[in-house]
């Protein structure tokens, strides 16, 4: 086999793997949010990943809150996750924390 052909196949394979990783990591949660009516910019998913927050967990929480009619920002959800990330395993845990925080601060 020609070394140029092998090199080009290796480059194409690498490109496909990177493209698939991008689709799985960023486009999947973005599409989930878009189809649920919670519009989030694709760049925000990249930023979430860089900050170390799991985009799917944040999106699930955001979509749930939006569907329940609660007005909250993505930044608030992500800040709550970052403050309590060791105790949050699923979206319901994050929802409970957000509601407790909202109740605590609405009474004062």
Q: pLDDT per residue over 39-89, tens digit each?
A: 888 889 889 989 989 989 999 999 999 888 888 889 999 999 999 989 898
- Cβ count within 10 A of residue 16: 10
What's the mean pLDDT in 16-24? 86
The pair of three-digit structure tokens given for residue 43, joined into one six-digit string:
């760049």
Which pLDDT score is estimated for 108? Answer: 57
Average pLDDT value over all residues in the chain: 88
pTM of the model: 0.75
What confidence tier does 1 reach under pLDDT thresholds 50, 70, 90?
Answer: low
The pair of three-digit structure tokens given for residue 12, joined into one six-digit string:
């194409």
């Amino acid at each position: 086999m020609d070394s140029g052909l092998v090199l080009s196949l290796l480059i194409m394979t690498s490109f496909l793997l990177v493209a698939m990783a991008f689709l799985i990591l960023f486009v999947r949660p973005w599409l989930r949010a878009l189809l649920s009516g919670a519009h989030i910019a694709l760049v925000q998913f990249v930023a979430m990943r860089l900050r170390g927050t799991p985009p799917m967990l944040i999106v699930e929480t955001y979509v749930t809150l939006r569907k329940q009619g609660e007005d909250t920002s993505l930044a608030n959800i992500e800040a709550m996750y970052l403050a309590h990330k060791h105790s949050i395993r699923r979206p319901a845990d994050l929802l409970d924390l957000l509601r407790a925080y909202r109740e605590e601060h609405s009474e004062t």
